[in-house]
Structure 1
Amino acid sequence: MNHVIEKAKECKCKRVWLITTNDNTRAIRYYQKRGFNLCNIYLNSVNEARKIKPQIPLHGYDNIPILHEIEFEMLL
């Protein structure tokens, strides 16, 4: 992660961002501990994604329903 952030700074990017799903609580903790801020929640967006990629499971980690996408960003 640090390498990506450094490369983004070298390229004069203004931010680094990523999206994970609501069931991925480990990733949510990981990014917050590293200074990323939650900037958007896309409610029920995974239902739309399943229309394109139907193999996305209905339940994820800890049997949590996969429904929403959560966007994190770090301003550089």
Structure 2
Amino acid sequence: MSQLSVREATDDDHEAIVDLLTAAWGGSVVVAHGTVYDAATLSALVAEQDGRIVGLLTYTLADGDLEVVTIDAPARHLGVGSALLTAAIGVARDARARRLWLITTNDNLDGLRFYQRRGLRIVGVTPDAMDAARAVKPWIPATGDYGIPLRDELTLELRLD
């Protein structure tokens, strides 16, 4: 197996990005903190191995903050998510961002473990936020990972200043 690399996405990656987003999110539309994103149009980092895209992180950079909108590593426990998050932190530092932050859901226990082990902290909880998200994406399930009711958004951040 060849080495994993992470790079900024290019226009040539669009089809692979849409495929990854569709597999992970049911399409490219993502709803977080009351904002609707078309993640396929955002800035993105892709992880590559053996000439294939094996992971994706989409983000926005505004007001001195880098928001991770999506992070997807379909093959887990191979370092793809870590490599993508490390690269995003590098992008944030290069942009002199104050923080890197993201939204996840209350059922994402694996994600919470992943983010906290990499220095992010829970800084906010928005109870019942998923009800509003379902108004835009009605196919968001009522029950998430591990049979946990999918209700709340959690905000995590890594301070960079």
- Normalised by the size of structure 1, how large is the TM-score? 0.97
Note the 1:40-55 alignment, pairs <5 A: 40-55=124-139
Note the 1:3-22 alignment, pairs <5 A: 3-22=87-106
Stretches of structure 1 that go unaligned for 5 or more consecutive residues are none
**Bigger strand fraction:** 2
CA–CA separation in structure 1 for the residues paired with 2:137 and 2:126 = 17
CA–CA separation in structure 2 for the residues paired with 1:3 and 1:52 = 31
Deviations 1:2-58 (A, max 9, x none): 110011000111100000000010000110010001011000000111111101000
CA–CA separation in structure 2 for the residues paired with 1:44 and 1:69 = 8
Aligned to 1:61: 145
Residue type at the aligned position of 2:125: I
Question: Of the two structures, which has the highest relative contact order with CA contacts closer than 8 Å and spacing of 6 or more?
Answer: 1
Aligned to 1:75: 159
**Bigger helix fraction:** 1
Percent identity, please: 37
- Normalised by the size of structure 2, how large is the TM-score? 0.47
* RMSD, matched Cα: 0.6
Residue type at the aligned position of 1:8: A
Q: How many equivalent residue pairs?
A: 76
CA–CA separation in structure 2 for the residues paired with 1:60 and 1:17 = 22
Q: Secondary structure at the match of 1:18?
A: strand
Q: Secondary structure at the match of 2:114?
A: helix
Aligned to 1:26: 110
Q: Which has the larger radius of gyration?
A: 2
Runs of 4+ with >6 A deviation: none
